[in-house]
Amino acid sequence: MHARTRVVLGAVWMLGALATSSWAQGLERVSVTSTGGEPDQACLRPVLSGDGSAVAYFSRATNLVPGDTNATDDLFVRDRVAQTTTRVSVGNAGQQSTLSTLSRAFLSQDGRFVLFDASGLDPADTDPQPDVYLRDRTLGTTTLLSTSTVFTHHFPIGLSADGRVVASSGGSPDQSGELRVVDRVSGLVRTLNNTPPAPGVDAVFLSGGVLSGDGRFLDFKREIYLANGDFAGTIERLDVASGALSVLVNEVYFELPEQSSFDGRFLLYTQYGVTVLSGSTGLFRLDTLSGEALRIDVHQTAPPPFGPWWSGAYQGVISADGAHVAFTSDDDGIVPGDTNFWRNAFVRIPAQRGAIRVDFDAAGLDTDFETEWVTMSADASLVAFSTSADNLLPGDTNQWEDVYLRGACGPHYPDFDLDGYGDSGAASVAQCLPAPAGWSVNALDCDDGAANVHAFAFDGCDGLDNDCDGTTDEDSSGTNYCAPNFSGDLVCATTISASGCLSVTAGSGYLLTASNLPPQRPGLFFYGLQSNWASWGGAGNMLCVFGPRQRLPVSSTGGAGTCGGSLSIDLAAWLAANPAALGAPFAGGEQLYLQGWYRDVTAPLGTSLTSAWTVAVSP
């Protein structure tokens, strides 16, 4: 985020998929003075107006505009139509902020209104804490929208596309507190506050609010700290008009809302915390109508589906219709050919298994340093990003992070069956987003005449290779994960396997087996609908199935010798005989996560767990 410290990697790599110059048309540097001069400090965290006409960014630079003498971070707007750069974090009389302006900024659809935090821009703002201001770029006026004190602060968290509805957060410097939504035309005000401690609950904090583009919904995080030391949390939604609250996400790991689509149907949120099948952070798009939570930062080709534990998504924005998501990630598997080992910027089309990378230079060459932040126009046709790379355009010699803008363009492939997967045998054609129907950013369809055949299609019990990987029925055959688990004395390394194909209509024929167990012990299998990775039992065992969990019948491990016991069950037969079981009725494609439990006198708790197995249910 500051001056570059370079690590020499030996070469600048060419991205073959990005080497067509037409895909890089329109690249422009927007962190410049009105006469094109370079800033003398870093320019950070850009925000693009919905129509793409204006880009706001933060900077401590002293030379972007005349008279900048406050030696702190200010907010600037680059007018792409007028080709001018102005400072908007100023008062009506030209007052400069007395405090760094560096939390978040928001632009209306046409770029007229700018929401930001600052201090000292209004005569009534005499405290040292940040307050929320709204700048009207057309009238040249700045309005104070909050009143902080020495002990409280206020930050902006959302602005409707028309600039009418404003959302902000406030509280003491060490914790969040009030969430506030104001309709500047009707005068309607909605306020949410932390709730006081209660029996069993030490504290409840509200944070992370995001406002839908139409101003109808405020989505936020509720953090609940329990007296027993546990933590719970939800992402909730406030209907601004009615004041009604609803829960969107019951927290499994630590989630934080990022942005919602214009009408609020789609919510983008970040999930922090390592899971069995994921990296350290994940970006998800929640469809609030269907309840589907789709992970965005996935590999175009797999395995593995996600990056290693130390990689992940860092920040993201969503288009007005929810059909495109721009994000940054240091995972080199998001698109083929990403070999620079830096954090980069991408645009994912959730309806397709693929993304395009957008932070490359005008010749299609790779960047020579990280991209920190990305933003996108409402229709996804333009992206702006901040990067410390200096090889994007000639003349970048200031050795600071700068802001660039370009069309969101990349290679596309014909998609004749409209399943979101492009023909694997076709040549790519340069297309800019939003691309017309019949094109896909991936080439993962081995049969572009059959909509149910493509990479990552569900490969159930039909004897066909539906997912184009050369094998059949593997999704409903299953695979091991979360291994190994040992008996309490660390002698028996348990294994778990299955034979057959799991079909709920077959009625039998899927034998699940746990082996290498202590003999003659009672045990059972259990399953859930989510994976887990948590220490259990104090003997190195891992609990690999998240609750709620369904227990299967108890049986004996039988056998003889030190580790000669085993457990077996026909899972297909049990599911057919128990139509009210967890997850039922199964339509096909549902993923089950299974694990074995058994009595173990050598374990601290007297019981141990096997390794785990996951399988998808076929119709």
Average pLDDT over residues 267-290: 78
The Cα 260–Cα 212 span in angstroms is 5
Residue 308 has pLDDT above 60, yes or no: no
What's the confidence (pLDDT) of residue 277?
46
Q: Which helix (H) or strand (E) holds 572?
A: helix 571-577
Alpha carbon distance 397, 107 (integer Å): 29
Q: How far apart are CA 241 and CA 249, in angstroms?
A: 21
Per-residue confidence at 172, pLDDT binned at 50, 70, 90? low
Length reported for the chain:
619
Type of residue found at 355: A
Torsion sign (Cα): 86, 92, 94, 98? negative
Residue 2's pLDDT band (cuts 50, 70, 90) = very low
Q: Which residue has the higher pLDDT, 360 or 64?
A: 64
CA distance 92 to 481: 62
- Residue 244's CB is within 10 A of a number of other CB atoms, namely 9
* Residue 43: band (very low, low, confident or very high) from pLDDT cuts 50, 70, 90: very high
Our measurement of the distance from residue 297's CA atom to the centroid of its chain's CA atoms, rounded to an integer in Å, reads: 7
DSSP for residue 14: B
User: What average pLDDT does the segment 93-106 reach?
Assistant: 86
Which CATH code of 2.60.40.10, 3.30.1360.30, 1.20.1290.10, 3.40.640.10 fits the domain covering 475-616? 2.60.40.10
Nearest to 321, CA basis, from 376, 256, 358: 376
Contacts of 556 (CB under 8 A, 6+ apart): 520, 521, 522, 523, 565
Q: Which residues, in sequence order, are CB contacts of 78 under 8 Å at separation 6+?
A: 30, 31, 32, 54, 55, 56, 57, 84, 85, 403
Give 410 or 326, the one with higher predicted confidence.
Answer: 326
205-216 confidence digits (pLDDT tens): 888 899 999 999
Entry pTM: 0.81
